[in-house]
Chains A and B, each alone.
Chain A
């Protein structure tokens, strides 16, 4: 994962108040992979839809992204995709050769094959601001997700005498770039902490729903199918 503080930050007076020192500190923390912060909306604290009381476990009041524990959630959006895809062969089956002294072969697969795949290939995330927990894992398409594919080879193909055939499982990927939308800006005003963490410090945040920040790139999985390669 790559973290970069160079991404665009939306304007606004609140954002402008943020000090570069604080940002640098957070970028450093992210790079070191420290324990995730915890943010929650303080219960019992009246807030306008655009002004909420949130609490970081370390009491900081830096800008944060919204996740499942906040009223509003940061989204990821795609901004650019490569025109071409590339193939990732996640499984190769045994090779069969049609004998040379028969007129034709018909090759049928009846195996079921489960292929595990990992989709975090080539991912990099550029985050200019602190994040909450593993928020960007959740937000970034296909980041660090695994899965499996089961393919049943009950299809046929004809082969010429002497040809080789090998079943494969293909995952097609496309290089994709995106950004995040929606950010909480701290107002600098303190508010009542959460009862579950009464000694912590809570701060009021304004939600900026359309503001874009950060960037991510990934080799996004766009297709998945079984097929075979033919060799002569």
Chain B
């Protein structure tokens, strides 16, 4: 048996930084080779063929960045399915996307110490082109963990405003990323009015402690 599937047009390439145009997850299809008359041959049975290798939702989605928290930034947030790597490790994380894919929100533990993250942010500010960005700005944030900063930027290829809020909760460093599609860069809101910062403040007490 041979089933042909048309190659659907690539609807946007892999995003470069932060988030791409996430849309509703579409099921994948594929053909199963028939096994003779199907008597006992163990054809695909363990899991749906042609599927994606996925992980269960992160606990961060149920304890900290809940749908309710995400709604502060995205009107109708959709929890994003996590892919499971075939080889290597990927950090934990919880992601939501708007129904139209124009906005995305993610929470993940930082892979570096807070000091290193702050240093990297200043380095990016000095050389935004190295990450395909422009208008990179780093601002301190108060009343969020022990230390916090906000990093705003515009990603040229993906045409996205990206806001990172990075903070040290005492035992760990966290990154909250909000990206939204826009044709041009714009002046970011003041830190005190920034909703991404407000979401970070609202969830920080619910984050797991320890490494």
Name A's B-contacting residues (CB within 8 A): 73, 75-78, 81, 87, 93-94, 96, 98-114, 119, 138-142, 145-161, 163, 165, 167-168, 170, 174, 176, 178, 181, 220-232
- Contact between B112 and A156 (Cβ–Cβ < 8 Å)? no
Q: Which residues of B contact A100 (CB under 8 A)?
A: 120
Shortest Cβ distance from B122 into chain A, in angstroms?
9
A-B contact pairs, 30 of them (CB 8 A): A96-B14, A99-B124, A102-B124, A103-B120, A103-B175, A104-B175, A105-B17, A110-B23, A147-B2, A148-B3, A150-B30, A151-B52, A154-B23, A156-B95, A158-B90, A158-B92, A160-B91, A161-B111, A161-B112, A220-B41, A222-B43, A223-B44, A223-B47, A225-B50, A225-B52, A226-B51, A226-B83, A227-B84, A227-B85, A232-B88
Residues facing A in B157-178 (CB within 8 A) are 164, 166, 175, 177
Contact B40 A77 (CB under 8 A): yes
Tell me if B188 is interfacial: C-beta within 8 Å of chain A: no
Identify which of A75, A138, A155 contacts B82 (C-beta below 8 A).
Answer: A155
Give the complex CA separation of A100 and B17 in angstroms.
11
| Chain B 104-134 interface 0/1 with A at a Cβ cutoff of 8 Å (1 = within) | 1010101110000100110110010011100
Docked complex Cα distance between A142 and B25 (Å): 30
Whole-angstrom CA separation of A112 from B92 in the bound complex = 25
B83 to chain A, nearest CB (A): 4
Closest residue of chain B to A115 (Cβ to Cβ) is: B30
CB of B16 closer than 8 Å to a CB of A = yes
A139 touches B85 (CB 8 A): no
Q: Is B33 an interface residue (CB 8 A)?
A: yes
Q: How far is the CA of A101 from the CA of B111 in the complex (A)?
A: 12
Contact assessment for A77 and B3 in the assembled complex, using a CB-CB cutoff below 8 Å: no
Binary contact track B3-14/A, C-beta < 8 Å → 1, others 0: 111111111111
On chain B, the number of residues with a Cβ less than 8 Å from chain A's Cβ atoms is: 87
Beta-carbon nearest neighbor of A99 in chain B: B131
- When the two chains form their complex, are residues B28 and A227 in contact, meaning their CB atoms are under 8 A apart? no
Q: Give the residue of A101, A108, A163, A176 whose beta carbon is less than 8 angstroms from that of B42.
A: A176
Identify 18 new A-B residue pairs, CB closer than 8 A, beyond the known A81-B42, A223-B44: A102-B18, A103-B164, A103-B175, A110-B10, A110-B20, A111-B14, A112-B8, A139-B36, A141-B35, A142-B33, A150-B8, A155-B83, A157-B82, A160-B90, A168-B86, A178-B41, A225-B51, A226-B53
Give the tally of cross-chain contacts (CB within 8 A): 275
Q: Which of B30, B35, B83, B131 contacts A76 (CB 8 A)?
A: B35
Residues of chain B contacted by A167 (CB below 8 angstroms): 14
Q: Is A156 in contact with B19, judged by CB distance below 8 angstroms?
A: yes
Q: How far is the CB of B31 from chain A (nearest CB, A)?
A: 4
Measured CB to CB, the closest approach of chain B to A139, in angstroms, equals 4
Q: Which of B5, B9, B15 contacts A150 (CB 8 A)?
A: B5
Closest to A93 in B: B14
Q: Is the CB of B130 within 8 A of A99?
A: yes
In the complex, what residues of A have CB within 8 A of residue B92's CB?
158
Find the B residue at minimum CB distance from A157: B83
Which of B9, B51, B106, B111 interacts with A160 by CB under 8 Å?
Answer: B111
Q: Inside 8 A of A224's CB, which chain B residues have their CB?
A: 30, 44, 49-51
- A144 CB, min distance to chain B CBs, angstroms: 9
Instruction: Report the Cα distance A106→B131, complex, angstroms.
Output: 14
Which of A100, A104, A151 has the largest number of chain B CB atoms within 10 A?
Answer: A104
* Interchain CB contact under 8 A, B17 and A142: no
Specify which chain A residues have a CB less than 8 angstroms from the CB of B34 in the assembled complex.
145
CB pair A230–B88 under 8 Å, yes or no, is: yes
Q: Which residues of B contact A163 (CB under 8 A)?
A: 88, 90
Cα(A106)–Cα(B28), bound, Å: 21
Chain A residues whose C-beta falls within 8 Å of the C-beta of B130 in the assembled complex? 99, 101
Query: In this complex, which of B21, B27, B49, B121 has the most chain A Cβ atoms within 10 angstroms of its Cβ?
Result: B49
* B19→A152 contact, CB < 8 A: no
Q: Which residues of B contact A159 (CB under 8 A)?
A: 90-91
**B29 beta carbon closer than 8 Å to chain A:** yes
